[in-house]
Structure 1
Amino acid sequence: MDAVIFDLDGVLVDSERMWDEVRRSVVAAHGGTWRPEATRAQQGMSTPEWARYLVETLGAQLSPDEIATTVIDEMASRYAGGPPVIDGAPEVVREIARRHPVAIASSSPPVLIHAFLTACDLTSLVPVAVSSEEVAAGKPAPDVYLRAATLLEIAPEKCAAVEDSTNGLRAALAAGMTVYGVPNPHFPPDPAVLAEVTVLPSLAGLPAAIQGGQ
């Protein structure tokens, strides 16, 4: 592999439950109704996509722009006290960055990606950070991964991707990358999708796996 591209939510920060809690509360506060499938459906969606979903599918009585602002402002407020960084994640990024260019390809908005990079002092080590807000479609479409590879100036098939969710894994596979799955314990990915990737029990095993795959 010539580069490693990390997802953010669920891989580097333990934020999937936080996103779920905030979206649920905003939908309830504005007249919508949560559905059992809503959490998994939104994993990987870009901001415009999940904002439309909350309004058009779950019935929240706000415009998509209003609900996106409300949710992201609440997430940013929670991040202000420090992002919920997964133990050891910054150290893994630093170790990988000693050998390979690294990037982030995330469904989070740029403000939250940069909050993580700043809090963990990783900005200089991660030259490329792409939000799905900046591409045509969120995960499981491959757009955000392909954009990250383009900005790194490295062919997608020479990149490794690190993901935790079904839609994220599908996006990285669709981009033609070598995919490492670190399954989210709170929202386990589809076993059929996991069967297509290299599964790691934790992010700590990534550096050795990358080295072994050279």
Structure 2
Amino acid sequence: MVFDLDGVLVDSETVWDEVRQAFARRHGGTWLPDSTRAMQGMSTPEWADYLVTAVGVKLTPAEAATGVVAEMARRYETGPPVLPGAVDVVRAVAARHPVAIASSSPPVLITSFLAATGLADVVPVAVSSEQAGAGKPAPDVYLLATAELGVEASRCAAVEDSTNGLRSALAAGMTVYAVPNPHFPPDPEVLAQVTVLHSITDLPAALAG
């Protein structure tokens, strides 16, 4: 079982959006109507380049990435905004199946989440799209996670919340569960291709069924 992080285990999609928008304003950028949705699932190099080339941030992509990730790390200093029941769900699933995390967050924030929740002992594989070479909706991060688990992607399930994340897991050939993000609802045509759950806490029963 492979979990997305942002929006599935951590209620951080709005935090990412707030931080990026404020950063863009401070550095001469103009937020576009589709910027929020466009960047969901992008790897750090991809969204940093987007901030520069599409939003107009007057920095290099490397500087944009460093600035945004530093602010996100500050927000996480008091603990990431873990969604209710998420830690118990990961532990319950890990008791029956190998588990991994495949996230678009940079490794420093994934590590922060695992440390804060005590899940490092039950999640043997946690990969960032930075390590995979391409962000979601490309399947790369899911293929990397399943390879590190030693299981074929077609024999794995994924749980996602966003349009690009769902497309990524589908492209990897996985069984896909959606916990739709209430702030940024996935496209209906993508939801029609997956099993939709009301809450992350519904996942263990769905897997058992």
Partner amino acid, structure 1, of 2:121: S
Alignment of 1:88 with 2:85, yes or no, is yes
List structure 1 runs of 4+ shifted beyond 3 angstroms: none
Q: What SS does the aligned partner of 1:207 have? A: helix
For residues 158-205 of structure 1, the C-alpha deviation after alignment (integer angstroms, 9 at most, x for no partner) is 100000000000000000000000000000000000000000000010
Residue in 1 that maps onto 2:20: 23
Match of 1:159 in 2: 156
Partners of 1:209 and 1:9 in 2: CA distance = 21
In structure 2, the residue matched to 1:188 is 185
Residue matched to 1:12? 9
d(CA) in 2 for partners of 1:119 and 1:149?
24
Structural mapping, 1:190-205, within 5 Å: 190-205=187-202
Q: Paired residue for 1:43, among 40, 47, 57?
A: 40
Matches within 5 A, 1:1-214: 4-212=1-209
User: How high is the TM-score relative to the length of structure 1?
Assistant: 0.97
- Take 1:80 and 1:120, find their aligned partners in 2: how far apart are those partners? 13
Offset of residue 135 of structure 1: 1.2
Kindly provide the CA deviation profile for residues 110-168 of structure 1, in whole angstroms up to 9, marking residues without a partner as x.
00001011100000100000100001210000000000000000000110000000000
Identical positions, percent: 68
Structure 2 distance, partners of 1:97, 1:47, is 28
SS of 1:162's partner is: strand
Aligned residue pair count: 209
Alignment TM-score, normalising by the size of structure 2: 1.00
Distance in 1 of aligned mates of 2:176 and 2:109: 24
| Structure 2 unmatched runs, 5+ | none
Cα distance in 2, alignment partners of residues 26 and 78 from structure 1: 14
SS in 1 for 2:146: helix
| Structure 2 residue matching 1:189: 3-state secondary structure | coil
RMSD: 0.4
